Amino acid sequence: MKSDFRKLIEVSTGGDGFFHTGENGVKGIYVPKDKKTEFIDCGDRSFCYVKSELGLPAIYPYEETQFEPKAEVLLMDLDGTTVTSEEFWIYIIQQTVVNLLGDSKFTLENADIPFVSGHSTADHLMYCINKYAQGKDLNEAMEIYHRITKFEMNEIMEGRGNVDAFTPAPHLKEFLTEVKRNGIKIGLVTSGLDYKAMPENVSAFRKLDMGDPAKFYDGIINAGYQKAGRVGTLGEVCAKPHPWLYFELAKIGLGASRPEKVVGIEDSSAGVLSLKLAGYNVIGLTTGNIDQSGVAPLCSSRATDLMDSLPYILKGESRD
């Protein structure tokens, strides 16, 4: 299985009208089903135009990297890949809109799912505002979201509330143990803020009796926080599908000097794009929104669960 953006949907115009097929060296423009990104084929060079619900698009050079097994570095997503939690976070988005509208009967539609999972919280909420709550303020929505989340997370950590919100992915312990046994560094990458991400991780490891995840992984990166004197990033502009989190952990945190020896596992369209833009090959899990969003052609291999991904990581054996 070879990653190829030219298997996506071909269109004639991209980049918010800046690119046109047949003009200025553009040979083709390709988009996935969700149309959140666009690939600009210029023959000897290609680019990816990343749209933004916040109004700040970005463009990145796009190059394919040929994976050389076995991997030296494995990069893993958290939500949906390491921990089953997407339904919980979609519920939080829905409850935020319920509070924003003051309508207890509001529910998201199935068609909304690719747009309220996998990307940044701000993107998710902006999508909901544009569709369901026009005129409402994003900052107000974000405040509601964090208030609800902090309450729910505290309830979970205290043993109340939705105690099954964070479930370890099937065969997680066996998979991580086998990867470690093969001398491969493992990095965990999430766009989630620290107060959300670490309880998820701790909860999963606790259920598997695996100790402290901070001591197990070779590197962990998540969105930071910038308020009241604390330095960091809110994680809303540089989050997946942008490449920075994956690139920073692999290149700087884990010392990966050869992208062909790095592979990532993702279940979301945003995560697939993030890895590809960072220059790394992707194993796409079939359990997330990759097929629904239409980015499957960007994956170098597919897997039904984590153990199913080992042949590619160790030997480069790809599965459709």
pLDDT digits (tens, 9 = 90+) for 81-115: 999 888 899 999 999 999 999 999 999 999 998 88
Architecture per CATH, domain 73-85+167-315, reads as: 3-Layer(aba) Sandwich (3.40)
Alpha-carbon distance of 23 to 41, in angstroms, equals 11
Domain borders along the chain are 5-62, 73-85+167-315, 86-157
Find the DSSP H helices in the chain. Answer: 86-101, 121-132, 138-157, 172-181, 194-207, 213-216, 244-247, 269-278, 290-293, 310-315
pLDDT digits 0-9 by tens, 175-231: 999 999 999 999 999 887 777 788 888 888 988 999 999 999 999 998 765 455 544
- From the centroid of its chain, how far is CA 235? 12
Average pLDDT of the residues of the chain: 91
Specify the amino acid at residue 142: M
pTM of the full structure: 0.85
* C-alpha–C-alpha distance, residues 96 and 49, integer Å: 29
